[in-house]
Structure 1
Amino acid sequence: MAFNFSVLASGSTGNSLYIETEQQHLLIDCGLSGKKMIELLGQIGRRPEDIDGILVTHEHSDHIKGLGIFARRFHTPVYANKKTWQAMSTGIGEIPIEQKFEFAPNTTKEFGGLVLESFSVSHDAADPMFYVVHDHEKQLALLTDLGYVSEHIKGLINNSDAYIMEANHDTDMLMMGRYPWSVKRRILGDTGHISNEESGLALTDVFGDRTKKIYLAHLSKDNNMKELARMSVGQRLESVGIELGREVNLCDTNPDHATELTAI
């Protein structure tokens, strides 16, 4: 049984992923204003009232900006790990206790036939984690906001049907850009973000015969461009014999509009 997904928004200004089956409609992160989240769902013909749950990766504002408003308005259950609940408490306002649920790192939960597997990542947040979505033989891996891709993570996401993969920055653009050195050092560090080149290297290790789509995600508005990300990741994939356009498609994501609702 297939499921559908859309990257509603991805970038340094806000992030959200929509996943659905016939029984379940989920968001992973709600990082834009409540009004913008409603607009993004409308772009794919979906209603906020139908969202059955919001899963949170970590407490940074580009992942939770609209969370409190959305959850309160539409009475949506919210799932996060204990440290993330504590860290984001002041940023989202009060959530009714009956809407608050814990989803621990490195565990699984089932949502109407979908199995979501959480895994810890190295990022400068309280307890950041991302997800692999399983539905029988189908698998979608969401992996952004991390300083490096460990061998353990590669094992978890290996041979996914689709990847939503961070390609945050072009290293040369970052180094020559306007950011102060302290910010550059944070981005480049083990608890920062992975570059186009690092993204491509990781993808060559996890690419498999099932892999058909790779969405390049969380691009920095100041230190990257879609064309650069596609070129860098594409060249790395081609260097190990992966044929773009035949074996796999590289897809863009956008900071302010949704990708097409796609079956996996």
Structure 2
Amino acid sequence: MASSSPEELLKSAEKRANSTGGWFSSSSGKLEEAAELFKAAGNKFRLASRFDEAGQAFMRAAETEIKAGETDYAANTFFEAHKCFKMARPELAVVALTRCKTILVERGRFRQAADREKNIAELYKNEANDPRKALESYEQAGEWYLQEGAQATASGCFREAATVATEVGDYKRALERWEQVAQMSLESNLTRYSVKDYYLNAGLCYMAIPDYVACGNAMGFYANQDPSFPTTMEGRFLHSLLEVCEAGDVAAFDERVQDFDRTKRIIGWQATLLRNVRKAVQEEPDLS
């Protein structure tokens, strides 16, 4: 096996997989041997940086393990396939991870299924460039982590979901997630310091919708949940923005944002969010 090429190993694997057990060997034994040969071929393809072919070999190994009744091994092998596909074809990495996750769910291994769903979300976000699917996967992973008592990991997934929802302009969904993360963060002294940022993000999402009445109500709720919030820099900034948004004063809005930016740099998706809040102010009808 050591001197065989990956193509030769694949050929041998297919032959074993398609053969039936004889007098002295079982069909499951042949399938297990075939799976090992497929994996050996996959590892040789991987060493040669032929990642697509490596992934395909591991997929065949996993499917063969399922036929042999070794579903737990198959889950691990699908995960190996995803590692290879991630280097060349992210869309197939998602397929491999989904197969892995499905087995884990069927086996009741939800903590591991959550890990795989999180991996899928990261692929959609970073390689496959499909933020809406990333959002769905982050939310699903977060729910499973919650069920398993992994609060911190769940919060991290919901925070990623909130960020993605904000980036794609799904502000209602985003603010619900920001508020959820804030609530979860209030439960620990280690994470309370971030609550002010989450409330600010949620408040800005209300303004981007725009729904200034709901934003004002939400700010009252935030103050009730965390009495220190109104006196923080973020709390004062949010309050001042709501005032100028309700007044329709774009110049004052720009001034407030510039003042905040001098102290705490506004970059990336938060800058885009603030531009959309400003746009909403410009588009509000003047009823005076």
Shorter-chain TM-score range = under 0.3
Q: Which has the higher contact order (CA 8 A, sep 6+)?
A: 1
Report the TM-score, using the length of structure 1 for normalisation: 0.26
Which structure is higher in strand share?
A: 1
Which structure is higher in helix share?
A: 2
Report the TM-score, using the length of structure 2 for normalisation: 0.24
